[in-house]
Amino acid sequence: MSDHLRPIEITDDEISSLPVDALALRLLESISAPQSFSLYNVLLTWRAAGVESNGAAMKALSEASEWLRHRGLVGSNPHGSPYNDFVTRLGFEALKRGIEYLGAVERMQLGLHPRIASVRSQFLLGEYELAAFAAMRAVEIRVRELGGYRDSDIGQPMMRNAFHVDTGPLRDPDAEKGERQGLSDLFAGAFSVFKNPTSHRVVTFDDPTEAAEIVSLANLLLRILDRRSPNVSSES
């Protein structure tokens, strides 16, 4: 059984110079039987194609194969067959969408605020707009709670009120006025650009990286809100 779809057209120097994630995708692209292969045999096939067995290129390929497993792009079936590896769902998405998609997914795996942890599943399902909207909406809800606003208070006007440099209940009275104004601009601007458009018209997020960065922005805003009210639990 061949583990390769096409001849390997890459030199040892090119292999050694590629970042591990880019090399890992090249390795994944070379697999012709994504449901049943041996990753070890894939490496042997690359070596048989001319990669120096004890050189830096072969070591780089070994690193790339470990990267594939560690990132969940390749999995192993619990069977005794020597061809028990398979390309995972995430692996197929990575092949289709590229390295940028993987970076966006990793953003969803690390340190999301408890209030937006659930958007990870939406993102992984490809519901980028819903994930971004839900994350920004969580910020809006938190500001409403901490500022004591009504349900009818929404969006950018509420942000301006909550972080008003002189009277806002969520302003930092110990900060300089310019910093207080900057915080007001940050929250109001975020809602004008990223939350309100998705509320009032259809916005298509074709780029998962952009959607992930909006979620990351919401994550930062929630952390700032936690500092504004240290005695209020982020779970409340």
CA 192 and chain centroid, separation: 23
Q: Which two tokens stand for residue 201?
A: 């018209």
Distance CA 112, CA 120 (A): 9
- Is the residue at 233 inside a domain? no
Q: Do residues 148 and 65 share a domain?
A: no
Length of the chain as a residue count: 236
Q: Which of 82, 97, 112 is the last residue of a domain?
A: 97
Q: Do residues 108 and 93 share a domain?
A: no
Distance CA 85, CA 45 (A): 15
Amino acid at the residue 32: S
User: Are the C-beta atoms of residues 234 and 226 closer than 8 Å to each other?
Assistant: yes
- Is the residue at 108 inside a domain? yes
Q: Which of 58, 73, 97 is the last residue of a domain?
A: 97
Over residues 83-110, the mean pLDDT reads: 84
Domain that holds residue 144: 104-228
Domain of residue 51, CATH code? 1.10.10
Q: Do residues 30 and 58 share a domain?
A: yes
Q: Which of 97, 118, 141 is the last residue of a domain?
A: 97
Q: Do residues 110 and 216 share a domain?
A: yes
Give the residue with greater pLDDT, 8 vs 99: 99
Across 12-21, 66-75, 88-97, 188-197, least confident range: 188-197
Q: Do residues 160 and 221 share a domain?
A: yes
Q: Do residues 141 and 67 share a domain?
A: no
- Is the residue at 7 inside a domain? no
State yes or no: pLDDT of 130 exceeds 50.
yes
The string of DSSP letters for 113-182 reads -GGGTTHHHHHHTT-HHHHHHHHHHHHHHHHHHHHT--TT--HHHHHHHHT-TTT-TTS-TTS-HHHHHH
The DSSP H or E segment spanning 87 is: strand 85-87
Residue 194 per-residue DSSP state = I
Q: Do residues 93 and 146 share a domain?
A: no
State yes or no: pLDDT of 53 exceeds 90.
no
Distance CA 139, CA 222 (A): 6
Q: Do residues 159 and 222 share a domain?
A: yes
DSSP SS3 for 86: strand
State yes or no: pLDDT of 235 exceeds 80.
no
At 100 the pLDDT is 82
Q: Do residues 110 and 220 share a domain?
A: yes
Under the banding of pLDDT at 50, 70 and 90, the label for residue 50 is confident
Q: What percent of the chain has pLDDT over 90?
A: 43
Q: Do residues 54 and 118 share a domain?
A: no
At 66 the pLDDT is 94
Over residues 120-143, the mean pLDDT reads: 90
State yes or no: pLDDT of 105 exceeds 90.
no
